[in-house]
Amino acid sequence: MPTLLVVDLLAEREAFGEHGTAEIVRHFPGYEVLLWAPHTDEPREYPFGERIESPVEHDVLFITGSRRNVSMWEPWMDEVAELIRSSDVPIYGICFGHQLICSALGGKVIREEEGSNFVAPVHYLDGRIVDQLFTHQDHVVDAGEMEVVASSKHCEIVACKHPTRDISTVQYHPESVLSVLEHSLVCGDMTIEERMEFGEGIQTLDVAQSLFF
């Protein structure tokens, strides 16, 4: 059975951690799921996957979003960055994962004065225009080895693909589907006011459509 290693950086949150990660792993049927949360000693126990204390051999690497910031580097990020550089398996990253991958491969991330919390159009180089959900304050301003394949009005580097390695990343959150957003109200991950910033919360592309190309 192939193995999916999720660098689970929202492991302390119920909606965006547990439910968001469930939406991610739904797109990897038939995979054994390993959950690694290097940023916390108190991850939530999910009804799926196996928690591990350090990386083990895997067939796919997936790096989630996070409340932490690449622009405010922490020591545990070094180990994840080295894993990105040394890995020879497919790698996918969302939001923080997108930023960390670009940074690990020679790029640059900066922190803007204000956060971006909304659904906005994303323009792909192939002509597609899609609506996707953003919630971030750090921005990739130099993609390093990665090639930029999409942008938006508020963020120049929204999606990237590596020219020679099987790596793709997005700044937006395709895993934050409507069920995740609504559960965030139930469990307290978001207030009603915060939820309203995303309007109807309908996105064009899901996890697979965003990253598996």
Active site residues: 95, 173, 175
Q: Is 76 helix (H, G, I), strand (E, B) or coil?
A: helix
* Residue 179 one-letter amino acid: S
Q: Buried (b) or exposed (e) across 168-190, using 16+ Cβ within 10 A?
A: bbbbbbbbbbeebbebbeeeebb
Tokens in use for 84? Answer: 């990105």
Numbers of helices and strands, H then E, in the chain:
6, 10
Phi, psi (rounded to 5 degrees) for 7: -80, 100
Parallel/antiparallel/unpaired status of strands 3-7 and 60-63? parallel
3-state secondary structure of 80: helix
